[in-house]
Amino acid sequence: MAQGRPKAAAKRPGRAAAATTTTSARGARGPRKGGRTIAPKKLRVIQQQKLKKRLEVGIRMKIEREAVQRAGAGLPKKLAVVAAPRPPAATAKGKAKKSRG
Residue 72's CB is within 10 A of a number of other CB atoms, namely: 13
Helix (H) or strand (E) holding 65: helix 43-73
Can you say whether residue 28 is alpha, beta or left, with left for phi > 0 and alpha for psi between -120 and 50 degrees? Answer: alpha
Q: How wide is the angle at C-alpha 98 spanned by C-alphas 100 and 54, nearest 5°?
A: 60
Q: What is the pTM of this model?
A: 0.38
**Torsional sign, CA 78, 83, 87, 88:** negative
Task: Note the pLDDT tens digit of each residue in 23-75.
Answer: 666 667 777 777 777 776 788 888 999 999 999 999 999 999 998 888 888 77
